[in-house]
Amino acid sequence: MQSALYVALSAQVAMEKRLNTVANNVANMNTGGFRADEVKFEEILSTVGKDDVAFASSGENFISRRTGAITRTDNPLDVAIQGDAWFAFEAPNGTAYTRDGRLKMSENGDLQTIDGYPVIDAGGAPIALDPMGGAPVIGTDGAIMQDGNQVGTLGLFTLAQNSKLSRFGNSGVYSSVPGQVVQDFTSTKVQQGHSEGSNVNPILELTKMIAIQRSFDGAATTIQESESSLMSAIRTMGPS
């Protein structure tokens, strides 16, 4: 069997996965704090036969850590991070991390994510505000003040580069390595009254989508030509 047929098929499988990833990114380009999915492509080297043949694998998804655009909202419960850090909250399967700083306060004063999960401080404890204390003032180090008194501190965490991130919800992630508490606020700051959007570049993603579709069509043409060549060889070598 011609190896070109298998190579083209493997390429189509890889490009279909990439196309689905790009489509999901485009669908979430307006989701606050959303981190885009990327695909790390690989090749599989086959030594069957006389010559080596490289096949494309479907690739491995990973979550991009690029920062998104920060927008001013003037909402006292909106906070954005400047620098390489994440907020943390209690999720069903443990601590999750997010760059989505659109927070809310429950009737009891519990500080929550936009989806209702408890936001935690550096020690891993939920943060409780005074529901009658008025709008909080949040400092660049995450300290939360109400009526001149500190009532809590937002936990900021860094995630190791070698940690594997898995998605939780629209903008949260689990980390295979627990986050480390930020101690130095020289390059990492909290900005109140601002929120971070998705890190998806819609123009770039649409360009990728067009390129992938063209490559997919090219692989389909290769498959048709390979099948045509094979059938022609069979007719030529077969009995008359």
pLDDT at 15: 73
pLDDT at 44: 47
Beta bridge partners of 128: 110
CA distance 222 to 58: 18
Q: How far is CA 30 from CA 25, 69, 137, in A?
A: 10, 11, 27
pLDDT at 60: 75
What are the 10-residue block averages of pLDDT along the chain, 240 residues in total?
58 75 92 89 52 56 92 97 97 97 96 97 95 93 94 96 94 97 94 97 88 73 64 63
pLDDT at 125: 97
Total-model pTM: 0.79
Q: What's the token pair of residue 145?
A: 């003040």
The H or E element spanning position 219 is helix 202-237
- Which amino acid is located at 157 in the chain? F
pLDDT at 56: 52
- Which amino acid is located at 195 in the chain? S
